[in-house]
A and B are shown apart, each in its own frame.
Chain A
Amino acid sequence: MTVITNGGSETFIQYLNSIKDQVKKDSSDGYYHVDIVADAYSQGYQDGQKSGKKDFIKKVLKERIERFTQTANQVYILTSKLVSVLKDSDYDVVSFHIDLNTTCPRSLIVVDIEILNDDKFVYLAYSTIKELKDVFKKIFADSMLDMSIIGSENLEYSLLSEDGFGYSEAIKPKNAKKERTRKKK
Chain B
Amino acid sequence: MLKKREHGKRNKKLSKQLFDGGIYLDWTITTAFYSAIHLIEAKVLPCTIRGQQCANINDVMDAYRMRGRHASRERLAQDFLPMEVYVRYKWLDDKSRYSRYTTYKITKTEAVKACEYINYIEDACK
List residues of chain A with CB under 8 Å of any chain B CB: 29-30, 103-104, 108, 113-114, 116-117, 122-123, 125-127, 129-130, 133, 142, 144, 146, 148-151, 153-156, 159-160, 163
Contacts and interface: CB of A to CB of B under 8 A. Distances in A.
Contacts of A126: 86-87, 90-91
B87 A159 contact: no
Q: Which 9 A-B pairs have the closest CB atoms?
A: A126-B87, A154-B102, A154-B105, A148-B94, A126-B90, A150-B98, A159-B101, A117-B113, A117-B109
A161 to B, nearest CB: 11
A117 B94 contact: no
B69 to A, nearest CB: 13
Contacts of B93: 148
A159 B71 contact: no
Given A122-B91, A126-B86, A142-B65, A148 B98 contact: yes
Nearest to A124: B87
A176 B114 CA distance: 32
Contacts of B113: 117
Contact of A144 (B71, B83, B90, B109): B71
A149 B90 CA distance: 9
Interface in B68-126: 68, 71, 75, 78, 83-84, 86-88, 90-91, 93-94, 97-98, 100-103, 105, 107, 109-110, 113
A150 B94 contact: yes
B50 to A, nearest CB: 12
Contacts of B66: 144
Contact of B87 (A103, A127, A155, A156): A127
A83 to B, nearest CB: 16
A155 B94 contact: no
Contacts of B84: 123
B110 A150 contact: no
Contact of A151 (B65, B87, B110): B110
28 contacts: A30-B67, A104-B67, A104-B71, A113-B110, A114-B109, A116-B110, A117-B110, A123-B84, A125-B87, A126-B86, A126-B90, A127-B86, A127-B87, A129-B90, A130-B78, A130-B86, A142-B65, A144-B71, A149-B94, A150-B94, A151-B102, A153-B102, A153-B107, A155-B101, A156-B103, A159-B100, A159-B101, A163-B101
